[in-house]
């Protein structure tokens, strides 16, 4: 008997053998979990993905590293991504005409540089792999110390921002033929303001940002880019997001100018561990829905940066726990909680340490450690290795495909069980089904699962176990199933889920 089967026992039971175990609530069976369509929380999930922005120093990326990165991306197989850049990289010949009139300012672009080349490489990959992209610019251009374009006072409401945005998109779409851009990010985390002289965002407010959204919407529409939505918020944290979402939802003009309700969550461990993340998101959405019934209907809720707060080292902008197994388990739990709360797509932060850098006072730069690996040859071998959370993300990304239905167990409320969560997934066009079970307790728990709804059954169950003892990698270094069983998720499957473990059962190989 191998190690895995000691920890995990699977027993296929016919439904007639099921004994309903007793529980406090007569109508609630916490052991035998059935995923039914009446518990669908998302009927048309939009997929999972990862931030894959322009590499700030493409020279550091060797062709071998790039090829390796693409293989890693292939296996992750995301369906949505966020790609950010800076307009400063391309603006040339800026002329403010020596007056206060911003309308008459002129400038040119030099798109023939390595940063744009890298951006196009990323976007072409997305085109080729049918990945939806939220494309955007981090901040208004200019150096924070001298604000040479005089844009930081008005931030994204500066009329030139809208023009620059339309120009860059026109270049990418009309000149380069890029098709994957579905959203525009009207600056990163606009609610994260900071102080003058240190932050380009110091003067931002919701009203300023909203004015920018209207300007950009108009500029995009005038260029014929009506199908590109503007991210509604891209804010960070619950408080700041609540302010922006409320502002968006209350104004007809603004809510009709945005394409979604999108925000960032760097979640404290305690909130994930207790199951409270789902509760918080649901509460926020319920509040916003009172103003905007289209939330979750035509304006979908998205998370555009997903990560964990604990372990963040501000000085290096890295997460010290990024290589721990627990990071992957918590991000899986995060994903599950968001999905059952109705979040329609999630973009993890981020793909590769090699994309972003901290620029130190002594002139050196160090990579920011939030990735699934590092493509930098200069980083240690340990950093270049695929981190555990890459593997847990691969499983979820390949299970929760665009067009999937997400089924709640009805038992995920932390008041029912703080430590155990599960969801069912029925793939697009009912091609497959899967179950994600996450046990956050130290002790193992035994549960049964069944997906009685219609799907194309392979009569095989691929079993994946994510914990530090059982994760199985193939010779290629990528995650593979721990076992394949003959059977069906239509039947009742009994599982002992070890402590601090995610188990995925899937009728298709992930």
Partner 1 sequence: MKNFKLLGLGLVALASIGTLTGCGSSEYDSKGRLILNLKNVYFEQWTGEDRYTEILNDKFGVKIKASGYDYNEWDGMVYTAVNGDNLPDAFHFNLKAYNYGSTYESWVKKQMLKPLPKDLSRWKNLSKMLSNVSNVEELKKIDGNLYCIPIMNDINNVKKDFSNFTYVYRRDLVKAIDEKNKNKAGYEPLYREGDVYTWDEFERMVDALSKNPIDTQKAVIADQGWAFPSITNFYKDAPHCFGKDENGKAINNFTSANYIEGLERSKYYVDKLYYSPDQFNYTPEDNRANESYLGGQSVILYDNFSLSNYSKFRKAFKKNQETVDLDDGTAFLKIKDKDGKFALEGTENWFSATFFSYATSDQKMEKILDIIDYLLSEEGTRFAVYGEEGYDYNIVDGEIVLSSRGWERSIDTGEYPPKTMGGKYLRYMATLGNDTQSYDPFTNLDDYSILTSWMNEMKKAKEDGLLRVVQEPTDISWMSTPTKNDKTNSLLNDANVSAAKYCFGKSSMDKYLNELDTNNWKTVLAEINEKLGK
Binding site for partner 1 (CB under 8 A): 237, 239, 242, 268-271, 273-274, 309-314, 319-321, 323-326, 382
Within 110-158, residue ranges assigned H as helices are 114-128
| Smallest distance, partner 1 to C-beta of residue 342, A | 21
| Smallest distance, partner 1 to C-beta of residue 14, A | 38
Q: Which is nearer to partner 1, 150 or 274 (CB)?
A: 274
| Smallest distance, partner 1 to C-beta of residue 490, A | 36
Q: Which is nearer to partner 1, 86 or 419 (CB)?
A: 419
Residues 424, 411: Cα–Cα separation, whole Å: 12
| Smallest distance, partner 1 to C-beta of residue 375, A | 18
- Asked if residue 166 lies in contact with residue 223, where contact means CB atoms within 8 angstroms, the answer is yes
Residues 328, 324: Cα–Cα separation, whole Å: 7
Residues 348, 51: Cα–Cα separation, whole Å: 6
| Smallest distance, partner 1 to C-beta of residue 355, A | 19
Neighbours of 391 (CB within 10 A): 23
Using left for φ > 0, alpha for ψ between -120 and 50, and beta otherwise, residue 400 falls in beta
CA angle 325–330–336, rounded 5-degree value: 135
Q: Which residues are CB-contacts of 416 (< 8 A; sequence separation ≥ 6)?
A: 28, 30
Q: Which is nearer to partner 1, 121 or 441 (CB)?
A: 441
CA distances from 463 to 77, 404, 407, 437, 479 (A): 19, 19, 19, 11, 11
| Smallest distance, partner 1 to C-beta of residue 313, A | 5
Q: Which is nearer to partner 1, 45 or 373 (CB)?
A: 373
| Smallest distance, partner 1 to C-beta of residue 310, A | 7
Q: Which is nearer to partner 1, 309 or 478 (CB)?
A: 309
Q: Which of 207, 221, 330, 212 is nearest to 265 (CA)?
A: 330
Q: If you ran DSSP here, which 8-state letter would residue 387 be given?
A: P
| Smallest distance, partner 1 to C-beta of residue 324, A | 5
| Smallest distance, partner 1 to C-beta of residue 333, A | 12
Neighbours of 207 (CB within 10 A): 11
Q: Which is nearer to partner 1, 31 or 283 (CB)?
A: 283
Q: Which is nearer to partner 1, 145 or 382 (CB)?
A: 382
Q: Which is nearer to partner 1, 266 or 478 (CB)?
A: 266
Residues 102, 89: Cα–Cα separation, whole Å: 20
Q: Which is nearer to partner 1, 241 or 507 (CB)?
A: 241
How would DSSP label each residue in 145-198? TT-TTS-TTTGGGSHHHHHHHHHHHHIIIIIT----EEEEE-SS-TT----TTT
């Amino acid at each position: 008997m191998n190690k895995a089967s000691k920890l995990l026992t699977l027993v296929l039971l016919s439904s007639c053998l099921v004994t309903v175990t007793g529980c406090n609530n007569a109508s609630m069976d916490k052991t035998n979990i059935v995923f039914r369509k009446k518990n669908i929380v998302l009927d048309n999930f939009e997929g999972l993905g990862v931030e894959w922005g322009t590499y700030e120093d493409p020279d550091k990326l060797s062709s071998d590293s790039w090829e390796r990165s693409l293989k890693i991306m292939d296996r992750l197989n995301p369906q949505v991504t966020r790609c950010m850049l800076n307009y400063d990289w391309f603006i040339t010949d800026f002329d403010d005409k020596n007056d206060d009139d911003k309308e008459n300012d002129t400038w040119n672009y030099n798109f023939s540089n390595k940063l744009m080349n890298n951006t196009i490489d990323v976007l072409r990959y997305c085109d080729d792999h049918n990945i939806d992209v939220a494309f955007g610019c981090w901040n208004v251009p200019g150096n924070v110390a001298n604000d040479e374009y005089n844009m930081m006072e008005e931030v994204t409401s500066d009329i030139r921002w809208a023009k620059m945005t339309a120009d860059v998109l026109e270049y990418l779409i009309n000149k380069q033929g890029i098709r994957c851009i579905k959203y525009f990010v009207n600056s990163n985390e606009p609610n994260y303001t900071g102080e003058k002289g240190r932050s380009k965002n110091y003067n931002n407010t919701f009203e300023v940002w909203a004015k920018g959204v209207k300007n950009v919407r108009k500029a995009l529409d005038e260029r014929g880019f009506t199908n590109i939505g503007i991210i509604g918020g891209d804010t960070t944290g619950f408080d700041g997001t609540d302010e922006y979402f409320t502002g968006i939802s209350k104004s007809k003009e603004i809510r009709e100018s945005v394409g979604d309700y999108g925000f960032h969550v760097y979640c404290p461990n305690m909130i994930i561990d207790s199951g409270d993340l789902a509760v918080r998101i649901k509460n926020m959405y319920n509040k916003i829905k009172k103003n905007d019934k289209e939330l979750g209907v035509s304006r979908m809720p998205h998370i555009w940066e997903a990560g964990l707060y604990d372990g963040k080292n501000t000085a290096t902008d890295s997460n010290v726990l990024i290589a721990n197994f627990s990071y992957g388990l918590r991000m899986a739990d995060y994903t599950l909680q968001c999905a059952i709360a109705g979040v329609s797509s999630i973009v993890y932060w981020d793909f590769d340490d090699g994309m972003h850098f901290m620029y130190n006072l002594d002139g050196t730069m160090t990579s920011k450690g939030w990735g699934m690996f590092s493509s930098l040859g200069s980083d240690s071998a340990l950093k270049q290795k695929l981190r555990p959370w890459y593997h847990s993300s691969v499983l979820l990304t390949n299970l929760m495909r665009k067009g999937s239905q997400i089924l709640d167990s009805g038992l995920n409320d932390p008041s029912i069980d703080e430590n155990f969560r599960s969801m069912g997934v029925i793939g697009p066009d009912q091609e497959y089904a899967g179950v994600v079970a996450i046990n956050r307790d130290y002790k193992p728990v035994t549960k049964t699962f069944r997906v009685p709804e219609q799907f194309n059954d392979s009569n095989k169950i691929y079993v994946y176990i994510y914990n530090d003892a059982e994760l199985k990698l193939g010779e290629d270094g990528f995650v593979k199933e721990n076992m394949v069983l003959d059977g069906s998720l239509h039947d009742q499957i009994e599982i002992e889920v070890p402590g601090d473990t995610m188990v995925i059962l899937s009728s298709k190989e992930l």
